[in-house]
Amino acid sequence: MNSRSGFVAVIGRPNVGKSTLINALLGQKVAAVSPRPQTTRRRQLGILTVENLQIVFVDTPGIHNPRHKLGEFLNQEAEEALEGVDVILWLVDASVEPTEEDARIASLLNGISPQTPRMLILNKMDLVKPDEESARAEAYSKMWSQAQVQKVSAVKRIGLGQLLEALTNLLPERPPEFPEEQITDVYEKDIAADLVREACLFKLRDEVPHGLAVRIDEFKERENGMAYIAATIFVERESQKGIVIGEGGKMLKAIGSAARKEIEEMGGRRVFLELRVKVEKDWRDNENALKKFGYVKKK
């Protein structure tokens, strides 16, 4: 049997489960996830390799109506991920009716050549009432014609086998692009930064997490096999700094403990994680700050 291999862009609005789906398909965590929108802030590859098959998933930020320069960068990252891929997956939250952001994505996708294989993934089917299922599927299908439709629940791991089988049939016959053991294109220290930010998203109140950025200042392997990581959490206002640190440092300690656990599971070794908090005023609308944190809006 000839090998099949290809790049698959996974696109959708914020918080529909793109990273959760890719982690579930890979069987391990390579992307940060949280219940909050815009957890993913850059394109990242998730590479699934099995016998005679390699699927390179391109995880993307959620497309949304931007309110600052960071939002513009995130949308551009997602839209550029559609260029030159072998298959496009549009992931939607089937538990709710289509939104304005879904309509925006549909407009973008309908401008792409229909020669690119396309698949509409109805996610969160475990939350859809039986009497609403067909109407919800029809509402999304009308927005993007000629797309294969698959129904899944990434969290419950329902429908993933059927999805992979259908996806495999759309991929071209060609050798794999990456070594069998490689699962992502992102360095471990960058994933660690995402996992620190993920912990912040879980632990902090509504508005604070969206103004956070994390920079890894030091990442060292020690002789005893432990990794030492020093990271800075940047916030936009002095008041946010106090919230992140918490009374007597309790919140920062809780964030560090949660992040350390995830980083240890990812790397398979013990980690010493040191966190500090700094203010970078209104960094999401500051071009220089965006560059410093790796969010460079291309001209």
Strands 213-221 and 148-151: unpaired
Q: What confidence tier does 60 reach under pLDDT thresholds 50, 70, 90?
A: confident
Written as six digits, the tokens of 137 are 């599927």
**Residue 109: which of 122, 118, 121 has the closest Cα?**
118
Architecture of the CATH domain 4-168: 3-Layer(aba) Sandwich (3.40)
pLDDT in tens, 112-151: 888 899 999 999 999 999 999 999 999 999 999 889 999 9
Cβ–Cβ < 8 Å for 46, 59: yes
pLDDT in tens, 33-42: 655 555 565 6
Comparing 73 with 177, the larger pLDDT belongs to: 177
C-alpha–C-alpha distance, residues 71 and 65, integer Å: 8
298 pLDDT more than 60: no
Question: Was domain 188-292 assigned CATH 3.30.300.20?
Answer: yes
pLDDT in tens, 207-252: 576 788 999 999 998 878 899 999 999 999 999 999 999 999 999 9
The boundaries of every CATH 3.30.300.20 domain in the chain are 188-292
Comparing 174 with 34, the larger pLDDT belongs to: 174
The boundaries of every CATH 3.40.50.300 domain in the chain are 4-168
- Residue-level pLDDT at 96: 95
Work out the mean pLDDT of the chain and round it to a whole number.
89
C-alpha–C-alpha distance, residues 196 and 213, integer Å: 9
